[in-house]
Amino acid sequence: MAAASTTDGGVGAILTAGERDYLVRNSGEQVKISSIEAGTVALYFSASWCPPCRRFTPKLIEAYKELASQGKSFEVVFVSGDQDEEAFNAYFAKMPWLAVPFTDSEGRKSLDERFQVRGIPHLVILDAKTGKVCTEDGVEFVSEYGIDAYPFTPERINELKEQEKAAKDNQTIHSVLSTPTRDYLISNKGDKVPISDLEGKYVGLCFVVSGYGPVEEFTTVLAKIYGKLKEVGEKFEVVAVSMDNDEASFNESFQNMPWLAIPQGDKMCQKLVSYFELNDLPTLVLIGPDGKTLNSNIADIIEENGVESWEGFPFNAEKLEILAEKARAKAESQTLQSLLVTGDLDFVIGKDGAKVPVSQLVGKTVLLYFSAQWCGPCRAFLPTLVDVYNKIKEKNSDFEIVFISSDRDQSSFDDFFSGMPWLALPLEDERKAYLKKMFKIRGIPSLVAIGPSGKTVNTDAKAPLAVHGADAFPFTEEKIQELEKNIDEMAKGWPEKLKHELHKEHELVLTRHRRPFGCDGCDEMGNSWSYYCAECDFDLHTSCALGEKKKGEEEKGHDAEAAPAGYVCEGDVCRKA
């Protein structure tokens, strides 16, 4: 095998920096770059402080060792993003490949810049002889296909995708679940169950991660549906597909699942992630009795209908219409008490935990306020909501807000609730989970408006409230349309273009938006009209642009708090990841 070229264009030229013509092993041994005899070289940009890196590194190590055992011409070079040499050494000690010396900070920085590394882990695959980039999607390729992706070229990936398509066209329950060395699944008692036992059955593939709230909530409901379908004699089975990194975590969560599973750590688990193009959790793929995929994800159906989803089995068009009809009937019969009363839980709370009967809210317009103190956008939105609440209450006594918290502890709940002049559900109240599912709350802060009749009048009352303030009351579609019509009339008297001190580069043009936008003046959301610069993607509320509103004060009183696992905060909302 020819050594890597050190001439311009070869991987040697890429890895050599100044006087340094070598790489290092974790033993401290120096290895001449010119002695590398691999035909394919991967540059692995990673760091010990990065959780995604720590999850991906074991996969890359496994692939590296397998390729080495098969005599494949492949080498990896670690380019560290660690902040000190001690962290680098501890992390590199686990790696069987080479590295750019940590002491060569300029060389590492140069590689970062050359390959425009914007995030880690990042795996760049190079042709060693020419230095040409085969792909910068090495992390994705290794994660999805393992060593099957070798030599990690786009051509090889296209080949694999074609194979996947052919496999789907000829899919069977065995092709989905078995491997050349395994023809069984396991129960939570450790029993091996032949995959052939699933032939002729409907099979749900449930992708699971221990400790992830939305998945745990979903599997709890699914277990009840599973039990009901077994009770009535339906040919239905569920197979857990673990995405956990360690066996102990999986085993702990699997004990609560009454169904079967692919053994934890089996490569088929990761292959199924790619095969079914997993992009959301929870996910439940439904396989028919013939082994073909009937539905790529029925989790939404189950989350929407709860345990009653079993009546929609096997979730074909006819049965789904039955569920839809029941949902419509339920919505028509909805009352405030049907939403907020469960058994003895027939109250909300005021300050100091004083119980307020739900019956006292009947006949009022009620906003359900989903929020949490750890959520920066929630803290920023609260002063606006308090101001709107007080203005509405001045004119309308038949109005109330109920805070539904996603806080992690009582102290945070109490602190946040202390700044709210309205009511709340207790922190540990079981009604919270039902309401979040009922209204499909994916992000906070969220406001759902319930009318005096107890019917839902607006599942996104935050948007009109942010734009129209107290005028948005009672948040019905008719009221919002009336306000929008009035604004459109007012817009006829506004200048079509203007210059503003916050954006001196270009004129701002009066623009009608069909979707919410963020104002670059006050940092609050808006919709309908703004003054906009298309070239710079710059927006101002008309009130900000016309001098009717000053930039709001920065939020005070709370230090930044990290979002809990499973949430990502972006802009004015924190969403489930």
Write out the two tokens for 110. Answer: 């140069």
pLDDT band at 176 (very low <50, low <70, confident <90, very high): very high
Residue 452 has pLDDT above 90, yes or no: yes
Predicted confidence (pLDDT) per residue in 455-487, tens digit: 999 999 998 898 788 999 999 999 999 988 888
Nearest to 497 by CA among 513, 509, 514, 481: 509
Query: What amino acid occupies position 193?
Result: V
In a domain, 3, yes or no: no
Domain boundary among 426, 457, 482: 482
Query: In whole numbers, what is the pLDDT of the chain averaged over residues?
Result: 88
In a domain, 315, yes or no: yes
Residue-number span of the structural domain to which 204 is assigned: 173-328
Asked if residue 121 has a cis previous peptide bond (ω within 30° of 0), the answer is yes
Q: What is the pLDDT of residue 246?
A: 79
Q: What is the pLDDT of residue 576?
A: 52
Percent of the chain predicted with pLDDT > 70: 93
Q: What is the pLDDT of residue 353?
A: 85
Q: What is the pLDDT of residue 550?
A: 39
Give mean pLDDT, residues 345-350: 95
Domain boundary among 135, 160, 185: 160
Predicted confidence (pLDDT) per residue in 86-110, tens digit: 999 999 999 999 999 999 999 999 9
Q: Looking at the structure, do residues 27 and 101 belong to the same domain, yes or no? A: yes
Q: What is the pLDDT of residue 569?
A: 55
pLDDT band at 552 (very low <50, low <70, confident <90, very high): very low
In a domain, 487, yes or no: no
Q: What is the pLDDT of residue 3?
A: 42
User: CATH code at 535?
Assistant: 3.30.60
User: CATH code at 343?
Assistant: 3.40.30.10
Q: Looking at the structure, do residues 364 and 405 belong to the same domain, yes or no? A: yes
Q: Looking at the structure, do residues 264 and 363 belong to the same domain, yes or no? A: no
Weakest-pLDDT range from 180-184, 412-416, 522-526: 522-526
In a domain, 555, yes or no: no
Domain count of the fold of the chain: 4
Q: What is the DSSP string of 459-489?
A: S-THHHHHHHGGGGTT--HHHHHHHHHHHHH
Domain boundary among 136, 160, 184: 160
Q: Looking at the structure, do residues 217 and 347 belong to the same domain, yes or no? A: no
In a domain, 213, yes or no: yes
In a domain, 570, yes or no: no
Which residues does 269 contact at the CB level (< 8 Å), separation at least 6?
241, 242, 243, 262
Q: What is the pLDDT of residue 42?
A: 94
Q: Looking at the structure, do residues 151 and 179 belong to the same domain, yes or no? A: no
In a domain, 488, yes or no: no
Q: Looking at the structure, do residues 252 and 389 belong to the same domain, yes or no? A: no
Helix (H, G, I), strand (E, B) or coil at 356: strand
Percent of the chain predicted with pLDDT > 90: 56
Q: What is the pLDDT of residue 449?
A: 96
Predicted confidence (pLDDT) per residue in 278-324, tens digit: 888 899 999 999 999 999 999 988 888 888 889 899 998 898 888 88
Q: Looking at the structure, do residues 315 and 182 belong to the same domain, yes or no? A: yes
Write out the two tokens for 75. Answer: 């080498």
Write out the two tokens for 7. Answer: 């001439």
Residue 492 has pLDDT above 90, yes or no: no
Residue 75 has pLDDT above 90, yes or no: yes
Q: Looking at the structure, do residues 28 and 109 belong to the same domain, yes or no? A: yes
Q: Looking at the structure, do residues 324 and 341 belong to the same domain, yes or no? A: no
Predicted confidence (pLDDT) per residue in 233-244, tens digit: 999 999 999 988
pTM given for the model:
0.59
d(C-alpha 577, C-alpha 564), whole Å: 10
pLDDT band at 4 (very low <50, low <70, confident <90, very high): very low
In a domain, 322, yes or no: yes
Q: Looking at the structure, do residues 409 and 428 belong to the same domain, yes or no? A: yes
Q: What is the pLDDT of residue 227?
A: 94
End-to-end CA distance of the chain: 46
Q: Looking at the structure, do residues 79 and 58 belong to the same domain, yes or no? A: yes
Residue 557 has pLDDT above 70, yes or no: no
Q: What is the pLDDT of residue 549?
A: 47
Q: Looking at the structure, do residues 278 and 230 belong to the same domain, yes or no? A: yes
